[in-house]
Amino acid sequence: QNSLNDKYTFDAFIIGKGNEMANAAAQAVSEEPGTLYNPLFLYGGVGLGKTHLMQAIGHAMIAANPNTNVMYVTSEEFTNDMVMSIRDKTQEQFRQKYRYVDLLLVDDIQFFADKEGTQEEFFHTFEQLYNNSKQIVLTSDRLPNDIPKLQDRLVSRFKWGLSVDITAPDLETRIAILRNKADREQIQIPDDALSIIASQVNSNVRELEGALARVQAYSKLQHHEIDEDLVHKALKSLNLENKPTLTIELIQQKVAAYFDVNVVDLKGKKRMKEIVVPRQIAMYLARELTNSSLPKIGKAFGGKDHTTVLHSCDKIADALTSDPKLSENIQQLKIEIQRR
Ligand code: ADP
Ligand code: MG
């Protein structure tokens, strides 16, 4: 009756360079909840296993003690729940629900940005759980310091325990993830065919899983077993093949061409609007489409600080909600970039 996904266990989590620290921390927390690292703060790009790992802690604790009360929510669910409890005057039930658990998992906490009321409520939830040595695990796409308008007292509390990042899997890990997935789902696929998928899909694990599903579907459609040739064809129809890899440089070129500016200026320091906006858009797209770290993006833009990159990304994300023209430009650029 908990809200955990059955598939998100430690058992099903493949360990590699990009996630071994996070995995070790999560395992340790599940063995000594509330005492070792509290809170545990996992951060990194989309599709890299943050949700999976945090839920694995829940499964492990329930396996060790079936009476463990685990609560998993996304930060949006927490916010909605709170807003509704105010509307329905059920705040007491709301508090009971979150403040009397053994393990509280709050996913994608970056969406607490700007939400004053939610932060206030969450602060008290955090305090109560923490003071009772109950384990708290949080995930985010960035470090607490980089979440805009997050109250200082929350930032400092989020750093009390341990923060670990998860980065994109290397080729070896991608192969292991695919092999594990194929075996679990009884998909017959030889190693060489599997390697082709792993080497061509290099962004994140979710896309890797998507590509495998695509190959499997294609194999059924063609009534043909999965071999190297079939994988090539299936990936071609996914438009992944014969394209230059999606790099920050490629994004810079596309954005520069689109706005008719120089790549050199895009990486430079000029402050006029005609350059600044394309520069911010290019940084935003680099973050969205490549899974590169903020420092890496900053470096590719002439050695800018990671906070400058973050500021640019937030600025564009913010403007997107109110500027249909910008939104259209970004859409077109994304299509252009994906097409290469
Ligand atoms: P995030 O929360 O970081 O966006 P998820 O936890 O939702 O990412 O992971 C995306 C998908 O990839 C899920 O289906 C998850 O099970 C799978 N996945 C991610 N990392 C691994 C891994 N190391 N081993 C096995 N599966 C993984
Ligand atoms: Mg997630």
User: Which amino acid residue places its CA nearest to atom 6 of ligand 1?
Assistant: 49
Sheet holding 162-166, edge to edge: 70-74, 103-107, 135-140, 40-44, 162-166
DSSP 13: P
**Strands 40-44 and 103-107, how do they pair?**
unpaired
Which of 6, 27, 52 has most ligand 1 atoms within 8 Å of CB, for mutation? 52
Using CA atoms, how far apart are residues 289 and 60, in angstroms rounded to an integer?
33
ipTM: 0.99
Per-residue model confidence (pLDDT) at position 245 = 75
| Mean of all residue pLDDT scores within the chain | 93
Per-residue model confidence (pLDDT) at position 266 = 95
Per-residue model confidence (pLDDT) at position 243 = 62
Per-residue model confidence (pLDDT) at position 237 = 73
Using CA atoms, how far apart are residues 280 and 97, in angstroms rounded to an integer?
41
207 lines ligand 1 (CB under 6 A): no
Ligand 2 ion: nearby residues, β-carbon < 5 Å: 50-51
- CA 139 to ligand 1: nearest atom: 2
Per-residue model confidence (pLDDT) at position 335 = 83
Using CA atoms, how far apart are residues 171 and 174, in angstroms rounded to an integer?
5
pLDDT along the chain (340 residues), means of 10: 88 96 98 96 95 98 96 94 94 95 97 92 97 97 92 96 95 96 94 95 90 92 94 79 77 94 94 95 94 92 95 93 89 83
H/E element, 85: helix 75-87
45 lines ligand 1 (CB under 6 A): no
Residues ≥6 apart with Cβ < 8 Å to 82: 94, 117, 118, 121
Task: Name the residue among 41, 108, 117, 105 with its Cα closest to residue 79.
Answer: 117
What is 253-308 written as a DSSP string? Answer: HHHHHHHT--HHHHHS---SHHHHHHHHHHHHHHHHHH---HHHHHHHTTS--HHH
Task: Name the residue among 53, 65, 64 with its Cα closest to residue 23.
Answer: 53
Per-residue model confidence (pLDDT) at position 1 = 52
Using CA atoms, how far apart are residues 59 and 54, in angstroms rounded to an integer?
9
